């Protein structure tokens, strides 16, 4: 019991969540983002989506969720693809294997990191917002 308290106390004092914390929907921070018409460095294969900060494995993780396609009806179900937005090459490549086509093609991992880095920074600022924040376009 004392060992568990010793491990949990620094997390509680820092306002962080534990390794096995499952976030609720009201803890997630989100911001809609979209590609500007002349934007050359857009790293995603779709033109708009949602940048989100979620808890995973005891740490905040920035993710991009694709937007709902325009031609899809309101009654049609839609399961958006998502990718981890990070400059960590392992998470960027291995962690995104299932939805790697959500990224625009890149010649190398280094090129993909350069394209994703501004969005990872934006996502970290989003993570600094209060739990449940919904931030509008251009607010960060």
Tokens of 112: 């993909």
pLDDT exceeding 70 applies to what percent of the chain? 76
Q: For residue 49, is pLDDT > 90?
A: yes
Helix (H) or strand (E) holding 48: strand 48-56
Contacting residues for 11 by C-beta, under 8 A, at least 6 apart: 17, 18, 58
Residue 60: CB partners within 8 Å, gap ≥ 6?
53, 54, 124, 127
Across 3-7, 19-23, 31-35, which has the greatest mean pLDDT?
31-35
Q: What are residue 60's phi and psi, to 5 degrees?
A: -80, 135
pLDDT band for position 46 (50/70/90)? very high
Q: Please give the model's pTM, rounded to 2 decimal places.
A: 0.77
For residues 46 and 103, give the distance between their C-alpha atoms in angstroms, rounded to a whole number: 8
For residue 35, pLDDT over 80 is answered with yes
Taking 80 as the threshold, does the pLDDT of residue 25 lie above it? no
pLDDT digits (tens, 9 = 90+) for 58-68: 788 999 999 98
| N- to C-terminal Cα separation, the chain | 42
Q: How many Å apart are CA 23 and CA 118, to the nearest integer?
A: 25
Residue ranges per structural domain of the chain = 16-69+77-127
The yes-or-no verdict on residue 86 having pLDDT over 60 is yes
């Amino acid at each position: 019991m004392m060992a568990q308290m010793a491990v949990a106390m620094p997390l509680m004092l820092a306002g962080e969540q534990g390794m096995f914390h499952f976030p609720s929907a009201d803890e997630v921070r989100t911001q809609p983002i979209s590609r500007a018409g002349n934007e050359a460095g857009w790293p995603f294969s779709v033109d708009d989506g949602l940048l989100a900060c979620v808890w995973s494995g005891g740490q905040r993780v920035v993710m991009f969720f694709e937007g709902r396609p325009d031609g899809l009806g309101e009654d049609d179900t839609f399961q958006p693809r998502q990718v981890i937005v990070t400059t960590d090459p392992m998470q960027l490549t291995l962690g995104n294997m299932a939805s790697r086509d959500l990224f625009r093609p890149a010649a190398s991992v280094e090129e993909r990191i350069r394209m994703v880095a501004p969005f990872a920074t934006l996502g970290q600022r989003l993570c600094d917002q209060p739990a449940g924040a919904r931030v509008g376009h251009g607010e960060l």
